[in-house]
Amino acid sequence: MSDVPRAETCVIACAEIFSGAGEIMASPMATTPLIGARLARLTTEPDLLITDGEALIFADTPAVGKSAPIEGWMPFRKVFDVVASGRRHVVMGANQIDRYGNQNLSAFGPLQHPKRQMFGVRGAPGNTINHPTSYWVAKHSTRVFTESVDIVSGVGYDNVDPDNPAFRFLHIHRVVTNLGVFDFGGPDHTFRALSLHPGVTADEVAENTGFEVVGLADAGETRAPTEEELSLIRETIDPTGLREKEVRPVDAAGVSR
Amino acid sequence: MTIGIGGWGSRRKPMALVRALARSDVRDLTVVTYGGPDLGLLCAAGKVRKAYYGFVSLDSPPFYDPWFAAARTSGSIEVREMDEGMVKCGLEAAAARLPFLPIRAGLGSAVREFWGDELRTVDSPYPDADGRTETLVAMPALDLDVALVHLDLADVHGNAAYTGVDPYFDDLFCAAAQRRFLETDRVVETEELVESVEVQRLLLNRMNVDRVIHAPNGAHFTFAGEYRRDEAFQKHYAASAADPDSWTAFREHFLDVDEQTYQERVVEWTRERAEQKEAASV
């Protein structure tokens, strides 16, 4: 067992989503990927643009929920310009994801008569067709990782028309969950395990995924944070421990406390 | 009638005009919006037949609007759900009097199924460097009969400014509409308007506006440039939708009344709530 709390392993995995991203806008949509993006910016990816989630571009890299000096303006209308430009990497949540990377955050059930209503498709269709997209799932389960999604909000690889160059920018980079790090590098762009977090077994991932995970038996272990990263997470970016509200600590028996 | 409603989610919505619409005998509305409690209140009043939107969100817990959810799960409204960027694109097409504008967003997603034949694609007449043809979504113009928007500051002629961090898309809603209704927290002389904000904040001019309505705190319970979202009241709204009795009480107290009474009762509700909290903490 690692003595690094699971939430911090998830933060490291989220930071690595942005490895090599360069001078683009990092748009994390939940706490753990937000900490990850800021960690990347404070370590290996200083040129990332980050915002306050509303309309201001931060010059500095503040703690979660805190403000900072700004360097620019990014109201919603300009966000759509950035989306179309491709200079962005978004990390969205997902109510459902299938083996080809189709994602749903809209509703469950029939389109015009759903059983449960969520947000609607939001920016998911435009994000996925225009620029790198990753997903963050705080509770990896068969409810989320399902055979087929009810409503395709985020476009998956089997919905790409290879004859139409309009699809050429689609790239689903990573899926980070409380159990591991995944991509769509399996045969025909299927869901593949890249690493499992320390203490997570292949069986645990298989039991909690509604389809076969490519490369599960061979996946290594998600790397441990460095001392510098740990101190940045604990003291600078998330001193109040908001990350553990998304990912609870796991005890020796593998049970969330 | 097709109406566009400005703002975004639970941000600077023209709620005073939405409340007036909910009280009126107008029915069978088609609504175009970045949806929030505006769409929720109109669904609660049974006014909506069809909705065009990029999302519907209260922006804070419980996030999903309960009345929009109820209208959806009962199948009582027909929707043309789309990517957020497609709403902007459709308003820009209408503003420029074009039948469509091409956009990538929507391709490969369920947006195509939400719209059926109402949403088509367009092939580029210019092949790419490899000689291949790019096929894009042909986003149809979102032509509006009426636009409702809320800005923080205006003169009586329809010149108006936002004072917060984001203009949202209120100028586009007005540019896409035949009849434009602007509600504002403060009506001032033109000279005071232009002296009190940077020129880049003057989002609307006289050509964009037909009627100016003085509605202090009119965006309540969403936020506007000079006041925050009333989170407690928004939670009360959402919780009141949970059962028929609590909704009837909410509606009779806050919605079946004129705007001035609404505003007075909100002040009273806030004071009573603070007093109850104080009593509970003693």
Q: Do A166 and B132 lie within an 8 Å CB cutoff?
A: no
Average pLDDT (B54-81) is 98
A contacts of B131 (beta carbons < 8 Å): none
In angstroms, the CA A41 to CA A22 distance is: 10
Average pLDDT (A240-255) is 84
Average pLDDT (B32-36) is 98
Give the pLDDT band (50/70/90) at residue A1.
Answer: very low
Give the pLDDT band (50/70/90) at residue A65.
Answer: very high
**pLDDT for the residue numbered A252:** 58
Residue-averaged pLDDT of chain B? 97
**pLDDT for the residue numbered A2:** 57
Which stretch of DSSP H or E encloses residue A137? strand A133-137
Whole-structure pTM value: 0.97
In angstroms, the CA A188 to CA A180 distance is: 21
The ipTM assigned to this model is: 0.96
User: Closest Cα to residue A170, out of B110, B128, B106?
Assistant: B106
Distances (CA, A) of B252 to B203, B237, B269: 36, 13, 14
Predicted confidence (pLDDT) at residue B73 exceeds the cutoff of 70: yes
Residues 19-78 of A with CB under 8 A from B: 54-56, 73, 75-77
Average pLDDT (A95-102) is 98
| Closest residue, chain A, to B63 (C-alpha) | A119
**pLDDT for the residue numbered B226:** 87
Average pLDDT (A220-239) is 97
User: Closest Cα to residue A74, out of A22, A14, A27?
Assistant: A27
pLDDT above 90 coverage of chain B, percent:
98
Residue-averaged pLDDT of chain A? 96
> Chain A interface, mutation test: which of B109, B124, B203, B223, most A Cβ atoms within 10 Å?
B109
In angstroms, the CA B144 to CA A232 distance is: 50
Predicted confidence (pLDDT) at residue A25 exceeds the cutoff of 60: yes
| Closest residue, chain A, to B123 (C-alpha) | A164
In tens, the pLDDT along B165-201 reads: 999 999 999 999 999 999 999 999 999 999 999 999 9
Q: Do B134 and A130 lie within an 8 Å CB cutoff?
A: no
Is residue B132 left, alpha or beta, with left meaning phi > 0 and alpha meaning psi from -120 to 50?
A: beta
Residues 81-110 of A with CB under 8 A from B: 83-84, 106-107, 109
Predicted confidence (pLDDT) at residue B60 exceeds the cutoff of 50: yes
Question: Taking a C-beta distance cutoff of 8 angstroms, is the pair B136, B102 a contact?
Answer: yes
